[in-house]
A and B are shown apart, each in its own frame.
Chain A
Amino acid sequence: MNDGDLIRAVQGGDSTSLTVLYQRYVKAVWRYLETHLPGDRQETEDLVSETFLAAIRGIQTFDPRCGTVYGWLLGVARNKLRDHLRKTHRAVDDRAAKAEGIIDTESVGPDQSLVAAEARETVLRTLDALEDEERLALEMKYLESLSVREMADRLGRTEKAVEAILYRARGSFRTAYARQQTRTE
């Protein structure tokens, strides 16, 4: 069943469909939040829980004809993250810096895990700049190792359409990544 069918079933109270949707997207939501809250598993768990609970509570308002389930979940996650960062950005700054080893009072030079940490941030910003559908396509392809057929089944699209999305997503990624890396002068 594709996402739209599953959502309608969940709206009708079907728990099996909820389980399928949950299994499909919980790791994607986790990745999104975890990458924005590096080094803090507890906060990530809290925000992932809040995201899904808010989603299930507001599920009757979601119309699958107006957007993808992933986009909707990511929207809820973004709001939760924004609220969280507003409340705690200072503490998050601290923890993020420590987790990435950037602020190291004992080192005399720039901390050396910086390259990896900042490259990660660049990838993160690049993904944030993509359309939700493009982002999901890349995640499904490269992180979940789904075949085009499996992606098509999930998204309720044809294989050709998925291939087109993937092609577009790679192009968008390349452009956005270059933009992140290049001067604007």
Chain B
Amino acid sequence: MPANRHEPNNLETAVMLPNDEEEHDRVGALLRCHYGASEPTDRFLERLHQQLLSELAGSPQPRGRRLPTTGQSVETASPWNRLTRWTGGLDTKWRIALSGIGAAAMGLLLVWTMSLTKPVSAMEKMAAEIRKAKSYRYAAIETKRKTRMTGYWLAPDSVRLDITDPSRWKGPGPEISNIVPGLNKPWININNRAKTFCRFPPRGRGFSPLERLDNFGKFSGNADRELGTKEISGRKARGFVIDTERIDPDIPPQMMEIWIDDETNLPVLLRCDRRGSMTTETIDIRWNVDLDPKLFDPTPPEGYTDVTPKPPASEEEVRLIIEGLRTYAEASGGYYPRVKRVDSTTSGDLIKMLGGGDVYLKEPTADALAAAKHVIKAFERIPEAKRGMASRAFQGIVQIGHIQVHNPDAAYYGATVGPKDKGKMLLRWKLDDGRYEVIFGDLRAKTVTAKQLRAIEGK
């Protein structure tokens, strides 16, 4: 293949080649290289399949719709409809009599079915008690690294999990605490060793430090094996073994030993064996205990450093974008990227305009390392004094592209708006709080409401 076909940017020229055979290869290569790299797991596929089949079985079918495989309508085929069609030939007196007999038969059937119901298993009793629990605390140890964990849970959604690796931290207190004050409330990670804290956005669903216990709460049926009875912390307990795949197919398969208090039907000891890779023994589970609400206070200790990652849509993001656009306009001789969508071409152009090399590879590749080396090389051709500025400008331009891809309400008007268009909107995107961030042609930034945005757009 002639070399000049791949210059300057091989990716685009590659798919514009006139030769059909080559074009086949290029389209296929691009798709295979950049699209659909991951596959769903068989387990996920099977679970969803079963869900869909259940949904189909439970969904009402339209009356009279024909099944193409048999050519017979559902209405005609169902036994119920055969019965109703048959009873349709009877007079009212007979229908009443028949319905009375039917009701009596149904009642008898129900009594008979109930008498056959199997006795509730120990696991089911335990599940019922777990669902009723108001709180628990437990202490656990991971036997390989000796990591100690203490968990606290207070209904409905307050959670605290303290973790200590004794090879790194001797105390006082735990090495790390994760505190979730409740559903829809920000939670915090406190690292006493590093004297830092990090806040996280609220969790969208419930959380339990000992999720396996939640899963046991959903369990029905019998254990795989019974271990008999023994005394644990002064209480008589019965032991069982369960394959965790029976509880939740998504958790790593392991055999779990569980000991249940004979009196309360609640678990008092768990022992998990992850096929030799890690063994965790959970001890001293105490149920329905009084927990101090201060345990779930997400206030960080005084003097600790906040290491919460700053969200990209902060002032810093706006600053980066403005810097990127300003640098681009200066380098291009007075215009912003004249495109509808900012992408790799735009950022690659910026590197070139600042004196760097061509960032594009000669061939499409999934080899991230090769791609990395190539871009470093292109970037390092920028004079050293300019590299810091170029790096920030580059990040700003890339960020515009990301906003366009991931924010459905984003719009960029660089094709028509330039640095002299003071009042015209150059870029806008929606913020989490429903307002919009707007950057104007003269690179002023403003946060506006939806109403104000409409007024700006109307200009």
A: which residues have CB within 8 A of B?
Answer: 5, 8-15, 17-19, 22, 26-27, 30-31, 34-35, 41, 44-45, 48-49, 52-53, 56-57, 60, 82, 85-86, 89-94, 96-97, 101-103, 108-116, 118-125, 127, 138-139, 141-143, 170, 173-174, 177-178, 180-185
Contact = CB atoms under 8 A, between A and B. Distances in A.
B35 A18 contact: no
A37 to B, nearest CB: 10
Contacts of A85: 406-408
Interface stretch (B137-145, B365-373, B443-451): B365-373
B9 A174 contact: no
B215 interface: no
A27 B37 CA distance: 11
A168 to B, nearest CB: 12
A31 B406 contact: no
12 contacts: A5-B68, A13-B67, A49-B48, A89-B408, A96-B405, A108-B387, A114-B375, A115-B359, A127-B35, A138-B31, A184-B339, A184-B415
Contacts of B51: 49, 52-53
A82 B56 CA distance: 26
Nearest to B12: A181
B341 interface: yes
Contacts of B368: 101, 112-113, 116
A174 B66 contact: no
Given A12-B74, A15-B57, A112-B372, A125 B341 contact: yes
Given A15-B57, A113-B368, A119-B364, A124 B34 contact: yes
A8 B361 contact: no
Given A48-B40, A108-B387, A121-B401, A142 B31 contact: yes
A180 B27 CA distance: 15
B457 interface: no
B355 to A, nearest CB: 14
Contacts of B388: 108
Given A53-B55, A112-B375, 19 more contacts: A12-B74, A15-B56, A34-B37, A41-B38, A97-B312, A109-B375, A109-B376, A111-B372, A112-B376, A116-B371, A118-B343, A119-B33, A120-B34, A127-B31, A139-B36, A142-B31, A170-B23, A182-B345, A183-B339
Contacts of B403: 93
A96 B372 contact: no
Contact of B375 (A110, A121, A124): A110
A101 to B, nearest CB: 8
A90 B311 contact: yes
A5 B67 CA distance: 10
A118 B364 CA distance: 12
B187 to A, nearest CB: 14
B341 A138 contact: no
Interface of B is mostly: helix
A15 B45 CA distance: 16
A176 B306 CA distance: 46
Interface of B: 9, 11-12, 15-16, 23-24, 27-28, 30-40, 44-45, 48-49, 51-53, 55-57, 59, 61-62, 65-69, 74, 201, 309, 311-313, 338-341, 343-345, 347, 351, 359-361, 364-366, 368, 371-376, 379-380, 387-388, 391, 394-395, 398, 401-403, 405-408, 415, 430, 432
A108 B391 contact: yes
A171 B397 CA distance: 30
Given A49-B48, A142-B31, A184-B339, A15 B40 contact: no
Contact of A110 (B66, B347, B366, B415): B347
Contacts of B380: 109
Contacts of A15: 53, 56-57
A90 B27 contact: no
Contacts of B313: 90, 93
A19 B49 contact: yes
Contacts of A19: 49, 53
A18 B69 CA distance: 13
A119 B34 contact: yes
Contacts of A96: 402, 405-406
A109 B379 contact: yes
B315 to A, nearest CB: 15
A78 to B, nearest CB: 11
Nearest to B72: A12
A138 B30 CA distance: 11
Contact of A12 (B9, B66, B309, B402): B66
B402 A110 contact: no
B23 A174 contact: yes
B67 A14 contact: yes
A2 to B, nearest CB: 11
Given A112-B375, A113-B368, A174-B15, A180 B52 contact: no
Given A92-B406, A120-B34, A170-B24, A18 B347 contact: no
B184 to A, nearest CB: 13
Contacts of A108: 387-388, 391
A12 B407 CA distance: 40
